[in-house]
Structure 1
Amino acid sequence: MSTITHTSTAVVDSLWLENRRGGSNLGIGERRPRISWTLSADDHVESVELQLTREDGCIEQHTTPGGSNRLVPWPFAPLASRETVILRLRPTASSGAADAEWNSGIEIEAGLLDRSEWTVPFVAPSVTAPQGELRPGYLVRAEWDNSSLGIAPGDVAKARIYSTAHGVYELELNGAPVSEDLLSPGWTSYSHRLRYQTYDVTEAIRSGRNAIGVWVADGWYRGRIGFEGGLWDVYGDDVSVLVQLEVTLHSGSVISVPLADSWRWVTAPITEAGLYEGENYDARLLPTGWSEVGFDDAGWESPQVLDLAAFPAELEPPTGPAVRVTETLRPLSIEAIDGNRIRLDFGQNIAGKLRIRVAGPAGQVVSLHHAEVLEDGALGVRPLRSAVSIDRYTLAGGGLEQWTPRFTLHGFRYAELENWPGGIDTVDVEALVVHTDLERTGWFDSSHPGLNRLHENVVWSMRDNFVDLPTDCPQRDERLGWTGDIQVFTPTALRLFGAHGTLGGWLRDVAYEQADQGHVPNFVPWIECGFPNHPTAAWGDAAVIVPWEMYRHDGDTRVLTDQYVSMRAWVDLVDDLTRHTGLWDEGFQLGDWLDPAAPPESPGDSQTDKYLVATAYHVRTARILAETATILGKSADAAHYRAVAERATRAFQAEFIAPNGRVVSDTVTAIAVALVFDLFATPEQSARSGDRLLQLVAAGDFHISTGFVGTPIICDALVKAGGLDAAYHLLLQEELPSWLYPVTMGATTIWERWDSMLPDGSVNPGDMTSFNHYALGAVADFMHRVVAGLDSAEPGFRSLRIAPRPGGGLTRASASHLTPWGMASSRWHRDGARFSLDVQVPAGCTATVVLPGVDTVHSVGAGAHSFAIDFREAADDPKKPAFRRW
């Protein structure tokens, strides 16, 4: 008798901790991080073995069921501060798979997990900095001798720098940069939490003497931030660094290198630095070898020593990736223009800075000007307001010099070089794209070039506005973490990039600022720079909706647990503001912000009743909170918030819906909100209102008539009203206002206003005009879910729903998404009446496939599947109005 054994062919594709897919595992903040992985296949995988190797060689092993590969609780002894371990996996089959191989594994190292382990003070240049004018950067250096610490050559097993700053900083060790991170430690609510970085400098440590150097400048901590002139010294009047250097010997002992008495500082060659204004740098002032051993620092001053205990903010490791240069662009065109300038067009609107290579006489100053658009033949700088965005470089002379600013950032497509030495043929300039180094997770393509460009514009606007936190724009004197923008954009953000770590960290600040202010501010971190500080619907609701959408995407309830107090506090506050009636009918509101009918000077003058929007959002977030409470096992809370939601629903219906289903305001946004938020009392009301929505959109000749609130949901509302064809009409409209109008005008990012640029090429006359905002690009989520048909049937993408809705004359569309389980995709193609669909389902997942125009539903498992049917879309019906062919 022969025995049949099954050997799994599955291999581990990827392995990561928490929701930091693609991120670093150096200096993590968890003692028991959860573990996730994906497999190339799930055939015959009965279990997965986990193996942990500790620094002392001790090996721990654990076996988990084969289908449990998402956020698996840490099965080993908890990590200690500084501990380094190797984690490896091996899938096993029912036979035991004796010859299966371990994957290559990942190295994990804990950071400093207890505040008491910080043993060094902040050190700060001892200088008084006046407000209202740009300050310089500073150089801070120290040396030490390993020999005097008893560290012999070959003794060092590993060396780590744990560091942060009040300001922004970069480290050098023995003359070389420590990392590629930019603008560290990033912007948090500094009075509550300050992130620190962990750097592996083992290979850079030398026998004998070593030197460490720090570049530091104001950044968000002390520099000017905010609009209407901005604020200075928001978080403190010091600019300082906290640097703890530890060397671990092969014996296991840890030596904290004593640097306190050797720190010295001097003003840097960065003579002025501002996030909005730009950076001025005089290369003649750079002390050669300043971060190397043996440098003569005579004349350098001793810094102030600031006790760490004076700054009670929590010291935390980052939850998301660092800000880095992610791409380099060469100019598409270079031309000489009047005024001793050379203009560069990089072909793409970005957040970033320039890198120049230039030769010329010592003392010559080259100015670098930046702008998103051209107007009247010149850089369109009026939208920048007071963010002048000019960098200046003073040449040292003596040969080719390379420079890029360190501590500033600009939003631009065009740049002009002023006073460039040499002719146009000597110009050597690149644009460096700078943003949080997120992993790309979502892609879309179709037969419509304009739609594809729209999607790419959404991708670029997200990249440009995820610079450490989700901001509104990267160019003008603002760049704030607006809650309303990310509230509407979160589903799209999570489709496109692995943004969980960044958003999770930002939500911590939301909770801190909410506790301070008594409500969720309109942007986080909050600064008092003149904007009204009142509870605001759709903006404050981010405290509930963002964590909920993160849970829906990843299926991870921890974000709900972590944010539950914040979520509940917001809903309770709004319930109080309604006087427990459910009707939010007074107070400051932004409403359907940037309704295209609003005048340029008053973007909040929406045609939609602001209190309709406010009450509708109260219903939505109370419902979400009730469901969250149910998921977390808080049954009493669940019942309470269901009652709050039901009360608010009744109040909405009584105040804003007529018995026949007509909605107050009678606007596209008002009806869309009522439909998508499920606010009607009867199906008849919903149907009547849906018909009215179709009438209004058609009467507007399928032009956009919605702002921040209505735009993300209008296409879904039309589909719900039975108007798929109308949704395509709206989506593919090219005339102003529409999603594709900016594309026809050459846009490479999403604009803040539908008419940020007018058809004659002039910039919108309002003083609030940006060419790089992601909020109106939230429609990309619809493109993935409905046009291409790729969606999750339950939180976490374990079960997919693939249901493409072809239309608009498209002959093909596809979307793919790197889910927590692996790559999923939906790709359809039309050839006449023949409709073909190819789907990819990740290992360990299932999918429900719904083909257009037929009632049959297909249930499939992991792998590739193909389907084909005969299909005619509504626009093919000669009895129906012809759809414009693209």
Structure 2
Amino acid sequence: MSLQATTISNLRVEYRIKPMGIDAERPRFSWNMTATGVGQKQTAYQLLVALSPDSLTPQAADCWDSGKVPSGISVAVPYAGKVLLPSTKYYWKVLVWDREENLIESEASFFETGLFSEDSMDNWSGAKWIAMEGKKDKKASAVMFRSEVKLSKKVKKARLYVTALGAYTFFVNGNKSGYLREDGTVAEELLTPGWMNYDKTLHYFTYDVTKHLAIGENVLAAQIGNGWYNSRIGEGSTYYKESGNDLGLLVKLEVTYEDNSTENIISDTNGQWKATDQGPIRENDIYDGEVYNATMEPDGWLEKQFDDAAWFTVKEHSYRASFPSAKLQAYPAKPAQILEELEQHPESIIVYQGVLPDYEGKYGRGKIKVVKEYQPSDLSSGFTLKNGETAIIDLGQNMVGVPNYAVKGEAGTQIQIRFGEITNDDSKGADGPEGSVYFENLRTAKQTSLYTLKGDEKGEMHQDSMTFYGFRFAEIKVLTSDSSVQVLQFTGKVASSSIDETGRLLTSSKAVNQLYQNVIWGHRGNYFWVPTDCPQRDERLGWTGDTQVFANTALYNAESVLFLEIYMDTLVDSQELYGFDQASFTSVAPGGKWANLNSFARTGKGPKGQAGWAEVGIIIPWTLWQMTGDDSSITKHYASMVRYMDWLYSLSGESYRGAAGIGDWLAFQGSGNQIVSDIYYAYAADLMSSMAKHIGKVDDAKKYNELFQNIKTSFNKHYVANDNQNNLVIKSSLTENPEDIFEEGIDVYKATKEDNSQFALLWILKLGLYETEDQKTKLMKLLKDNIKNDVAYKAEHPDSTRVNYAENTLSVGFLGVHVIAPVLSDIGSSDLAYALLLQDQMPSWLYSVKNGATTIWERWNSYSKEDGFGYVGMNSFNHYAYGAIAEWMYKYMAGISYDPEKPGFKHILLQPTFDEQKRITVVQAEYNSVYGVIKSGWRIDGDSIYYKVTIPANTTATLYLQTGKDTGKDVAEINAGVSYIGKQEGKTVYEMDSGSYEFKVKL
């Protein structure tokens, strides 16, 4: 193979290309090999790090020369050179030897360190936390800060380091600061610095502001809203105050002049900074929205020579005194930002006034009286809305972000925009006339934007900046009597922390394709600074159960490694602040009033566990390791994981019982809370044994394996039985051990507990909790019969909740949804997995698609055209947990999976699963793994299957291919790089080198 055919690319430091402001003392280096042909791989590498690109040679690298390392690893190689200095730019490259010992040299890249200020303020050059002096209402209006500074020389380089207590937007000479993308454009951030346990950790951000500074006077300015720090979402947290907290700002501007001298401009109380809360953002809250009065915009406040005499002085904020041990860290990932390419435009606009006369409807709510209706082609000049009329804008997509709109009208006119996910029908659960926007599922969240016009004759543009909304529909009203406004333009600006997509999947089924897009949009909307359950109602919390269920899917969908690593840091902070005995992992992170979701936390009695939620602290490190091969999260948080496992053992000892919790949330077929807890205890022990073995903790690996075996023995003793006909029964609950339930009506969310529930059967098979192969066979039959739910099954189980539902339907909740299809494929029942995937009767994945969903719903029956809206107390239309089916779609349907024995896609398992009933005839997928893009696709044509796969350079794969009655040997004989291994469970097994291949087999 020629050198020209092989290149080294995609150079990353801490999983980012050319990152700025990283605080990692031993940053991780990664790169990809790309090659044409077959079998190319890396046999050795040499990393070079230097202070100058000219020094990137083995003889001159002045920071680190790894020497030639015989290894094929090219992901997360840790730095091992000289101590890195703060605020310093480092250059690096990698030399790679291929399989023929040819040397390939990458281009030079770079990274830049941050302030390394985790444990002190030493590198902040004396910067102080500042707050507005004399702010009376600490929870309403945003605070505006400004300072004019004089620079005496030409600027060579300038770095802005900034963070806030609240959410900030920062300006340098009127230029809004934002994340610098790889292509040189600046992202528009939203609600930076995000959400965390502020009394434990706070993130700062770094910006290159060189081109925005000039000799002479310069203006630094910031606007700070409440964010999560000072909104009611923080209730129950250790930093929250009902009366409100002072909003704070911390700034360091490090300027390097052309003569290489430096100057630091900092936030201080020396009179250089002024502040006011008399700006346009009058109110702002995460749940409730934003109140903006454009007549209060202080013209020119971002410019030089602005008269700020009426502004207040600043005082030193009490943050450091209140929380002296809080860590100040550089944010490791890309900040949440507006994704311009996903901007949503109106699909339709209707204007209505009141309800139709003589039409009450079934429940007396009536139907809206439409007076105007617009299509996108009608909106070139906007539309006029009068007081007394209501406009409803349908963006066509349930999204998360903020509105961007242009309006024209008289000064002082106020408009109201409320945001919802769906419109009312004429059903029992509706909250207004048919055709109006449904708001009741928001509970107490106002989710409203109020805007007062300043009266610009050319029109005025606005975009909310201190809140976010989950919505598809916007309801607009003019609140000012006898007034009207012209709505010139309206778009939905999508915001997310899920920025760089890594997965793609397309099938021959329009419904399945919509389901996949719903998963992507649900992921996109709920990965916003933290992984939330929902983005619209008065919740929006970082629920740990949802997070662990969806984590594997998330890592397929988009670059989520850093996001989940940050979440793990937040979780461990929450463990220390809110966990029982500082050992149990919490049910939400960051912590707050829902930190412990169990009866003990609410009543002071009962079990303390929250099984399936707390195990997130075990599952996330394991998942990150499997998907990347990087064990950093395991080693970093191992002590916290051990502390949790020790705590679980301390509660039950040698009874080997889990600590209970709330069960398989929102399942249609209930499983006892204790059996769910015992299963997750076993799961955690199994993962801990695997991780301990990997990092060389042999004694721990043995201990956790023995724990797993003891839990298994206890499990079989308590739950496995035979009925009067000697049929195997998996009992759901134990009469001698009361269940962990809330006293306050939690059972309205849960199904009746049943023996042989789908959840229990699935997990027993997944974990191997059975004792004999005969038992396994019976479990498989029980599971398949339960899912098939045919006439015979219903006749045998007349009291089961399954009687009410169609054949081939789900009955699991949050803790079973990601397991059901993979387990079916693993036991050889992929035909049944396909039947579940393609089912559109309730409960099923396609049921929501059939009913018009554009995101994943919280409940299997959140809405139906037949029955209307689901239980309003918990009924989000953007909840990603059930979207975990995409994990099966990537791993099994498309067949792209990691190898648990060799994690991180260095060795790939290819297991394309064809729909032999030809309901789906085409699948095309790709996944941009840490080692490169894997492509896998198949199509069925008649009785032939055509399968194509691309395996990236520097990886290998094992292919399990359905070849029917063919031996499959001939495939290997005609393909270089493919070795025939044999038959296994009806599939032909091949070992494959990197390259692109095509196969044709008989169905």
Could you tell me which residue of structure 1 aligns to residue 421 of structure 2? 372
Paired letter, 2:841: E
Distance 1:237 1:228, change over 3 A: closer
1:85 matched to 2:90? The reply is: yes
Paired letter, 1:436: S
Q: State the alpha-carbon separation in 2 of the partners of residues 90 and 233 from structure 1.
A: 55
Q: State the alpha-carbon separation in 1 of the partners of residues 487 and 617 from structure 2.
A: 52
Distance 1:419 1:591, change over 3 A: same
The aligned runs of 1:354-753 (5 Å cut-off) are: 354-375=403-424, 376-398=434-456, 399-419=458-478, 426-516=487-577, 517-518=579-580, 519-528=584-593, 532=598, 533=601, 534-584=608-658, 589-596=661-668, 607-658=670-721, 661-664=728-731, 665-699=755-789, 700=802, 701-753=807-859
Distance 1:357 1:651, change over 3 A: same
Q: Is the 8 A contact 1:226 1:478 kept in 2?
A: no
Q: 1:249 aligns with which of 257, 274, 288?
A: 257
- Cα RMSD of the aligned pairs, angstroms, is 2.5
The aligned runs of 1:125-164 (5 Å cut-off) are: 125-128=132-135, 135-147=140-152, 152=153, 154=154, 156-164=155-163
Q: State the alpha-carbon separation in 2 of the partners of residues 866 and 93 from structure 1.
A: 25
Paired letter, 2:413: Q
Could you tell me which residue of structure 2 aligns to residue 11 of structure 1? 7
Q: Is the 8 A contact 1:369 1:390 kept in 2?
A: yes
Q: State the alpha-carbon separation in 1 of the partners of residues 715 and 32 from structure 2.
A: 45
Q: 2:349 aligns with which of 309, 330, 334?
A: 334
Distance 1:270 1:69, change over 3 A: same
Q: State the alpha-carbon separation in 1 of the partners of residues 837 and 856 from structure 2.
A: 14
Paired letter, 1:323: A
Once the two structures are TM-superposed, the CA of residue 418 in structure 1 deviates from its matched residue by: 1.4
Q: State the alpha-carbon separation in 2 of the partners of residues 679 and 867 from structure 1.
A: 38
Could you tell me which residue of structure 2 aligns to residue 111 of structure 1? 115
Partner secondary structure for residue 872 of structure 2: coil
Q: Is the 8 A contact 1:383 1:768 kept in 2?
A: yes
Once the two structures are TM-superposed, the CA of residue 554 in structure 1 deviates from its matched residue by: 0.6
Distance 1:795 1:236, change over 3 A: farther
Q: State the alpha-carbon separation in 1 of the partners of residues 863 and 555 from structure 2.
A: 29
Q: Could you tell which deviates more after superposition, 793-802 or 522-531?
A: 522-531
Distance 1:92 1:799, change over 3 A: closer
Q: Could you tell which deviates more after superposition, 665-674 or 72-81?
A: 72-81
Q: Could you tell which deviates more after superposition, 860-869 or 121-130?
A: 121-130
Q: State the alpha-carbon separation in 1 of the partners of residues 404 and 310 from structure 2.
A: 31
The aligned runs of 1:798-837 (5 Å cut-off) are: 798-807=906-915, 808=917, 809-837=919-947
Q: State the alpha-carbon separation in 2 of the partners of residues 830 and 574 from structure 1.
A: 50
Q: Deviations over 1:361-391 (max 9, x none)?
A: 1111121110011113111100001111110
Once the two structures are TM-superposed, the CA of residue 236 in structure 1 deviates from its matched residue by: 7.0
Could you tell me which residue of structure 2 aligns to residue 884 of structure 1? none
Q: 1:266 aligns with which of 257, 264, 276?
A: 276
Q: Is the 8 A contact 2:825 2:892 kept in 1?
A: no
Q: State the alpha-carbon separation in 1 of the partners of residues 201 and 545 from structure 2.
A: 23
Q: Is the 8 A contact 2:198 2:229 kept in 1?
A: yes
Partner secondary structure for residue 746 of structure 1: coil
Q: Deviations over 1:463-497 (max 9, x none)?
A: 10000011100000011010100111111111111
Q: Could you tell which deviates more after superposition, 475-484 or 367-376?
A: 367-376
TM-score by length of 1: 0.91
The aligned runs of 1:292-303 (5 Å cut-off) are: 292-303=303-314
Partner secondary structure for residue 139 of structure 1: strand
Q: Deviations over 1:338-379 (max 9, x none)?
A: 241221111110111100112211111121110011113111
Could you tell me which residue of structure 1 aligns to residue 331 of structure 2? 318
Could you tell me which residue of structure 1 aligns to residue 131 of structure 2? 124
Could you tell me which residue of structure 2 aligns to residue 757 of structure 1? 863
* Matched positions, count: 845
Q: State the alpha-carbon separation in 2 of the partners of residues 230 and 411 from structure 1.
A: 27
Q: Deviations over 1:720-756 (max 9, x none)?
A: 4442222211111101111000000110000000011
Distance 1:271 1:309, change over 3 A: closer
Q: Is the 8 A contact 1:742 1:751 kept in 2?
A: yes
Could you tell me which residue of structure 2 aligns to residue 30 of structure 1? 24
Once the two structures are TM-superposed, the CA of residue 633 in structure 1 deviates from its matched residue by: 1.1
Once the two structures are TM-superposed, the CA of residue 661 in structure 1 deviates from its matched residue by: 4.1
TM-score by length of 2: 0.81
Ranges in structure 1 where 5+ consecutive residues have no aligned partner: 598-606, 872-886
Ranges in structure 2 where 5+ consecutive residues have no aligned partner: 179-187, 354-387, 425-433, 602-607, 732-754, 790-801, 965-982
Q: Deviations over 1:616-674 (max 9, x none)?
A: 11011011111211111112212222221111111111111126642112111111111
Q: State the alpha-carbon separation in 2 of the partners of residues 432 and 252 from structure 1.
A: 41
Distance 1:768 1:308, change over 3 A: closer
Q: Deviations over 1:681-738 (max 9, x none)?
A: 1111111011011111112511211111122111223234442222211111101111
Once the two structures are TM-superposed, the CA of residue 77 in structure 1 deviates from its matched residue by: 2.6
1:178 matched to 2:177? The reply is: yes
Q: Could you tell which deviates more after superposition, 379-388 or 568-577?
A: 568-577
Paired letter, 2:907: S
Once the two structures are TM-superposed, the CA of residue 806 in structure 1 deviates from its matched residue by: 1.1
Q: State the alpha-carbon separation in 1 of the partners of residues 243 and 910 from structure 2.
A: 49
Partner secondary structure for residue 221 of structure 1: coil
Distance 1:55 1:233, change over 3 A: farther
Distance 1:508 1:802, change over 3 A: same
Q: State the alpha-carbon separation in 1 of the partners of residues 527 and 673 from structure 2.
A: 29
Q: State the alpha-carbon separation in 2 of the partners of residues 581 and 235 from structure 1.
A: 47
Q: State the alpha-carbon separation in 1 of the partners of residues 813 and 101 from structure 2.
A: 59
Q: Is the 8 A contact 1:227 1:529 kept in 2?
A: no
Q: State the alpha-carbon separation in 1 of the partners of residues 175 and 908 from structure 2.
A: 48
Once the two structures are TM-superposed, the CA of residue 68 in structure 1 deviates from its matched residue by: 3.3
Partner secondary structure for residue 413 of structure 1: strand
Once the two structures are TM-superposed, the CA of residue 231 in structure 1 deviates from its matched residue by: 10
Could you tell me which residue of structure 2 aligns to residue 52 of structure 1? 49
Once the two structures are TM-superposed, the CA of residue 50 in structure 1 deviates from its matched residue by: 4.0
Partner secondary structure for residue 868 of structure 2: coil
Q: Could you tell which deviates more after superposition, 369-378 or 637-646?
A: 637-646
Once the two structures are TM-superposed, the CA of residue 53 in structure 1 deviates from its matched residue by: 4.0
Could you tell me which residue of structure 1 aligns to residue 226 of structure 2? 218
Once the two structures are TM-superposed, the CA of residue 229 in structure 1 deviates from its matched residue by: 14
Q: State the alpha-carbon separation in 2 of the partners of residues 529 and 697 from structure 1.
A: 34
Distance 1:734 1:109, change over 3 A: same
Q: State the alpha-carbon separation in 2 of the partners of residues 136 and 590 from structure 1.
A: 39
Partner secondary structure for residue 251 of structure 2: strand
Partner secondary structure for residue 882 of structure 2: helix
Q: State the alpha-carbon separation in 2 of the partners of residues 55 and 727 from structure 1.
A: 56
Paired letter, 1:682: T
Once the two structures are TM-superposed, the CA of residue 107 in structure 1 deviates from its matched residue by: 4.0
Once the two structures are TM-superposed, the CA of residue 93 in structure 1 deviates from its matched residue by: 6.0
